[in-house]
Chains A and B, each alone.
Chain A
Amino acid sequence: MIKFEHVTKYFGERRVLDDLDFEVQRGETFVIVGFSGAGKSVSLKHMIRLLTPDQGAVWVDGEDISHAGQRDLVRLRERFGVLFQSAALLEWLTVGENVALPLREKTDLDDAEIHRRVEETLNMVNLNDIYLAHPSDLSGGMRKRVGLARAIITNPEIILYDEPTSGLDPVTSRTIDDLIDRLRRELKVTGVVVTHDLFSALAIGTRIAMIHQGHFIELSTPADFIKSRHQVVQDFLEAQYITKKGAWEAPRNETHQQSIT
């Protein structure tokens, strides 16, 4: 569905992505983990052409988005819903107007219908009674969830989540995990999740990749990921008290593996 073909990206002298080569399958939830500044957000931005690779190409469903013209780009981007790391809410609009924005601008639904859809979507992310609040009055976690609501309201076939659970309490984090997993299972959404939160990565990911020094040092199913022999992956797991001896068990992994292969 989304294919990186030997993507290399420089910021000045720094090579942030180094010959990154992988493919996200249709209907899977692909999780990217890694240290801060490893290039997780940068790789996500390549999928929607907010950044263009210096070498290589990014393919979306058989089309080269990194060299697409304006018209094709618009069409390709319409298939995506994107949750930005900073939530990227428009500050002068209310929460309701923010979530309604894609529907208002891109569809001909009437106000009542839009309002209904917005309330419904806000409920899905556990937010009630904040339709008229302004983004600046919300906590970071709430803004994240409003951003998530805006990303999913158009029922896109691909959703990119940049740290969906950062800044959320553990209980709400699991709710968001459930939501992401439900979107995949029920609506066959293809998801790419960037996260630091390994619990959530292991719970929702069909495959997990760890990016380090510009490329993936590990790319495997959750069950194999925690058994990785790579030292950096081991350190990353141990920092979150997950060891291969199994503080964590993966009850859903078997089904995940079957569903993607």
Chain B
Amino acid sequence: MLTREPEFYPPAINWLGLLGRDIWMTCRNAGRALLMLWEGLLDLRFMLGNRARPEVVYQLYVTGIKSIGVISVVAMFTGMILALQTGLELRKFGQEVNIGAAVMVSMLREMGPFMTALILAASVGSAMAAELGTMVVSEEIAALEVMSIRPVRFLVMPRLVAMMVMTPLMTFYACMLGVIGGALVGTTQLGVSLQAYIDNATRFAENKDLYVGLFKAFVFGIIVTTVSCHQGFSTTEGAVGVGRATRRSVIISFLSILIVGYVITRLFYV
């Protein structure tokens, strides 16, 4: 059941009590978020059904097409900055041709998935938290439950699909744009020929970099959806609560992306 009773706690006796309660609440919320994710994953089987399809398509559109602009700009400039910074250093040793590898590998392995996930968390994820939070406050979630329409199937599943598909796609797109940005700087500012840049980039980057990067993006997509939807559903206390849920969804998403990103890198590259 997602519609929760309001909870009340007596004031804590001292800071230790407060800390204990905070830890307990954090664990409980994490558990609830994971349960919600599990339910959402099971509901993926309804993804292509007549009832869910329009909403799934709409969410794909919102998540992908609507954020393509900002991702393009950020990816392009990230590639350009990477190329310029490393290029200027490498030039001291006459090695500026290696910017190809530097840009390609860092975009694929880290910058691409990381950047895309952060942008999606800040735009799409925060919108999810705010939307669902508003629905809780205006009793829409309660109304769904009373109509026996499960909010997770109805609301979370389409968003989950959209993020699971779009985060890797957008990541791939961001990597390509980043590499193009790097090429632009390489050819115009650093005097590296396009051919040399491409050769260098493809020689050092491995398929593994691509796969791990896309896997990371996929996981980040799930994290952002889970955190944001859970925060939305946990909203209490009206408009103030919606603001708090939105803020928390972004903060928790960012932190989780960083930590999980490290863990995945550690697992695959050490």
Contact = CB atoms under 8 A, between A and B. Distances in A.
Interface string A1-26: 00000000011110000000000000
B139 interface: yes
Q: Which of A78, A85, A105 has the most CB of B within 10 A?
A: A105
A204 B5 CA distance: 32
A48 B3 CA distance: 12
Nearest to B143: A88
Contact size range, A: 20 to 34
A3 B146 CA distance: 19
A106 B148 contact: yes
B149 A84 contact: no
Interface string A180-219: 0000000000000000000000000000000000000000
A82 B149 contact: no
A52 to B, nearest CB: 6
Contact of A11 (B1, B6, B145): B6
Contact of B146 (A11, A70, A77, A104): A77
Given A80-B146, A106-B147, A86 B51 contact: no
B138 interface: yes
Contacts of B6: 11
B138 A50 contact: no
Contact of B139 (A13, A86, A104, A105): A86
Given A11-B8, A89-B140, A101 B149 contact: yes
Given A11-B8, A77-B148, A101-B149, A84 B143 contact: yes
Interface residues of B, number: 19
26 contacts: A11-B6, A13-B8, A45-B142, A50-B142, A50-B146, A52-B5, A70-B1, A77-B146, A77-B147, A77-B148, A78-B148, A80-B146, A82-B146, A85-B139, A86-B139, A88-B139, A88-B142, A90-B135, A91-B140, A101-B149, A102-B147, A104-B51, A105-B51, A105-B147, A106-B147, A106-B148
Contacts of A104: 51
Contacts of B139: 84-86, 88
Contacts of B147: 77, 101-102, 105-106
A105 B146 CA distance: 13
A133 interface: no
Contacts of A50: 3, 142, 145-146
